[in-house]
Amino acid sequence: MIVVSDTSPLSNLVQIGRQGLLRDLYGEVIIPPSVEDELRKKPELHRSFDWGLIRVVQPKAPNPFLETADLDLGEIEAIALALELEADLLLIDEFAGRLAAHRAGLQITGLLGVLLEAKARGLVVSVREEIDRLTARTTFRISMAVREEVLRLAGES
């Protein structure tokens, strides 16, 4: 399975001590250099991250469609790399990035999707506890409607 990621799902998982879920779910995650740079800018993230899980790949050429979108460089490169590698999944959380990736025909999930998959595979006991940890320890925000839907999907409503 080819999985490409943007920065926020990776950094948020590290901040709640759940980066091991990525290895358990996907084995390897591929990131573009700009995502690696963003992670390296925060020493606490860089030191905590399992770099044996990550493979950095430079996209050959950015997708011209993406250069016009309201995206940061990490999102642009992650989407371009996912398209280039014909990735099975792109991990991305930001709305504009998700919309651009969806329009480009990519299969996407975000951090909440990772947590739901981890619960389905018995890797986490409570999605509710993971969401609570996320909102307490990170800048991750979730609307009440989305929270309720995710908890319903996790069988925790």
**pLDDT digits 0-9 by tens, 22-70:** 989 998 899 988 888 888 887 676 566 665 566 677 777 666 666 666 8
pLDDT band at 99 (very low <50, low <70, confident <90, very high): very high
Separation in Å, CA 45 to CA 1, 17, 41, 93, 132: 25, 10, 8, 18, 20
pLDDT surpassing 60 at residue 110: yes
Higher pLDDT, 157 or 67: 157
Question: Hunting for tokens 């959380």 — which residue is that?
Answer: 93
Tell me which H or E stretch contains 31: strand 29-31
Structure token digits, residue 126: 């409570």
With cut-offs at 50, 70 and 90, classify the pLDDT of residue 140.
Answer: very high
CB-CB contact of 54 with 77 (8 Å): no
118-128 pLDDT, tens digit each: 999 999 999 99
Cα–Cα distance measured from residue 155 to residue 143, given in angstroms and rounded to the nearest whole number: 18
pLDDT at position 58 is: 72
Give the model's confidence band at 107: pLDDT under 50 very low, under 70 low, under 90 confident, else very high: very high
**pLDDT of 109:** 97
| Contacting residues for 24 by C-beta, under 8 A, at least 6 apart | 118, 121, 123
Structure tokens at 58: 């430079």
DSSP label of 4: E
Distance CA 134, CA 67 (A): 31
Record the pTM: 0.89
* 90 three-state secondary structure: strand
Q: Which domains are seen in the chain, by residue range? A: 3-112 (3.40.50.1010), 113-153 (no CATH)
Q: What is the pLDDT of residue 19?
A: 87
